[in-house]
Amino acid sequence: MDDRVHPAESTTAEEKMAAPAEPAAISRPENPLAQKNIEKLKPPPGTYVIQIPKDQIYRVPPPENARRFQTYTLRTHRRRHGCCCCCFAWTAALLLFFLVALAAAAVILYFVFQPKIPNYSVDGLSVKGFNLSSTAANLAADLAALSPEFDATVRADNANKKIGIYYRSGSSIAVSYDGVNLCHGVWPTFYQGERNATVFQTALTGSGIRLAAATHAALVTAQSHGKVPLEINIQVPVRLKFSAVTTWTITVKVRCDVTVDKLTADSRIISKSCSVKVDPF
């Protein structure tokens, strides 16, 4: 049996060159809307594209949400403002409550203890170191520096039934004439019980006191008339004792206007008047 060999179908190089070339497949997007979006995202010619980190992008609400954003911002502001007003109102209420409670406690203490301001007076005044004379011969000696000494007898009367008084250190007593300080001293420290009257003597001294000619002449005239006005100022820190409770330090200020007949050791008080002021703080 004769074998027949059929030539395989093949394309020669000439046929390939003669055959027309098939156009290459053009890739087109499957979705036309995507193509439009891509074209929109492309920057126009002559522009630059700047990349900013995502955490630095500040977003602006769209127009349809602008009213909602404004309403939310207004509510937040009102809420914060309301919280501040509430805190202020609570603070004012607590302060008012504290003041009312303090006033109520003061009223209760007043009616329970019935505090009274103590009475003070100067019962005696002995003067040394003054040599006042109206003669011209002794005028130069009189205008020299003086060192007067006063021995004052002071009476302190505590009329309170349930309040004691602690007289503390840091006090001062000064005697002056027509605004010129003559001598000074201190108030003794002691405790004065309820319904107690204490009389004590205190020494007041001055050094290097120089009087003007007019002041010296006024003193000479006053002594010749038998009326020498003096001013005594007392300032003493005290603490009050209410039963088992002791207060903070309170300053008592006493002013006494005393008139003596002469500035000698046996001087006599003609008139006297004292006023008391209390400084609670």
- CA-angle at 163, arms to 161 and 166, nearest 5°: 140
Do 95 and 122 belong to one domain? no
- Domain membership flag for residue 32: no
pLDDT at 77: 56
Do 106 and 139 belong to one domain? no
Do 206 and 101 belong to one domain? no
Chosen domain end from 74, 97, 113: 113
Do 265 and 143 belong to one domain? yes
Do 122 and 250 belong to one domain? yes
pTM over cut 0.75 = no
Do 221 and 187 belong to one domain? yes
- Domain membership flag for residue 88: yes
Do 101 and 146 belong to one domain? no
pLDDT at 23: 46
* Domain count of the fold of the chain: 2
Do 275 and 198 belong to one domain? yes
- List the pLDDT tens digit at each of the 281 positions of the chain: 444 444 445 454 444 444 454 444 444 555 666 666 666 666 666 666 666 666 555 555 556 555 665 665 656 655 665 566 777 788 888 889 989 998 888 888 888 888 999 999 999 999 998 877 655 445 555 566 789 999 999 999 999 999 999 999 999 999 999 999 999 999 999 999 999 999 999 999 999 888 888 888 899 899 999 999 999 999 999 999 988 889 999 999 999 999 999 999 999 999 999 999 999 88
pLDDT at 88: 76
Do 214 and 86 belong to one domain? no
Do 217 and 202 belong to one domain? yes
- Domain membership flag for residue 103: yes
pLDDT at 200: 96
- Please check whether residue 274 is in contact with residue 262, taking contact to mean a CB–CB distance below 8 angstroms: no
Segments forming the whole domain that contains residue 130: 116-279
Do 85 and 180 belong to one domain? no
Chosen domain end from 78, 113, 148: 113
Task: Give how far Cα 255 sits from Cα of 116, 123, 172, 174, 230, Å.
Answer: 18, 14, 12, 10, 11
